Amino acid sequence: MTKNRKLEWDWFPGVIPENVVVDVTAYIETTFSFQFYRSQLSGGVEYKHGASTYLGTMFDVGPRGRVTLGEYALVHGARIICDSEIFIGDYALISWNVVLMDTYRVPLNAQERRRELELISTRELRIASADVPAKPIRIERNVWIGFDACVLPGVTIGEGSVIGAKSVVTENVSPFTVVAGNPARVIRQLDSQEKNHHA
């Protein structure tokens, strides 16, 4: 990253926002990832040692949102929707088209949601302006999330777990567990030999 927070290799003419903390060993493929980034917090996104994001990763982070990428965490083409906090642990692998959302951004009540939709045509985009709660997401170390999976608000995924492709994770996942499906259900527990590979 240059002094003016540009990426020399970047095809997009953007910059890394001032409140994004990037370790010197981290890698960001493109500043396009920050097109929807609006966090006003210090360290609104933090890349720890060796963390990396690749093409297609989008940080859709609201004014009070914070995202942390742990050491050697790799995110390849995920959509991160954050109005509270999303923590991605060390050595986590997040595949393409994964959605991590700590908020729904629209009311669950149908009448309230209808009112919000009616207002959209009368103003500029008003993201997260409705009183919609956000619940932090925590992804522990050595987690692997397969492509097209979706992790919903308030979920914690335990260390060493595997989330199957196209799964929708609606509740916490215990450590060293394989889950899959919509909604995601336990497929099996990893045995001790498989756990040793996560150490």
Domains: count for the chain: 1
For tokens 């003419």, the residue is 13
Structural domain contains residue 188: no
- Residue 150 covered by a domain: no
In a domain, 164, yes or no: no
Name the phi and psi angles at 177, rounded to 5. Answer: -125, 140
In a domain, 130, yes or no: yes
pTM of the shown model: 0.91
Of 62, 60, 56, nearest in space to 78 by CA: 56
Residue 170 domain-assigned (yes or no): no
Q: Among 4-18, 36-50, 124-138, 172-186, where is mean pLDDT lowest?
A: 124-138
Does 171 reside within a domain? no
Question: Helix, strand, or coil here: 28?
Answer: strand
Q: What is the pLDDT of residues 19-49, one digit of tens each?
A: 999 999 999 999 999 999 999 999 999 999 9
For residue 168, is it within any domain? Answer: no
Tens digits of per-residue pLDDT, 130-167? 578 899 999 999 999 999 999 999 999 999 999 999 99
Q: Residue 97 domain-assigned?
A: yes
Token digits of residue 104:
């729904």
The answer to whether residue 76 scores a pLDDT higher than 80 is yes
pLDDT category at 108 given cuts 50, 70, 90 is confident
Q: What are phi and psi of 115, to 5 degrees?
A: -60, -45
> What pLDDT does residue 136 have?
98
Q: Which range marks the domain in which residue 79 is found?
A: 20-144
Q: How confident is the model at residue 117 (pLDDT cuts 50, 70, 90)?
A: confident
The pLDDT confidence band at residue 195, using thresholds 50, 70 and 90, is low
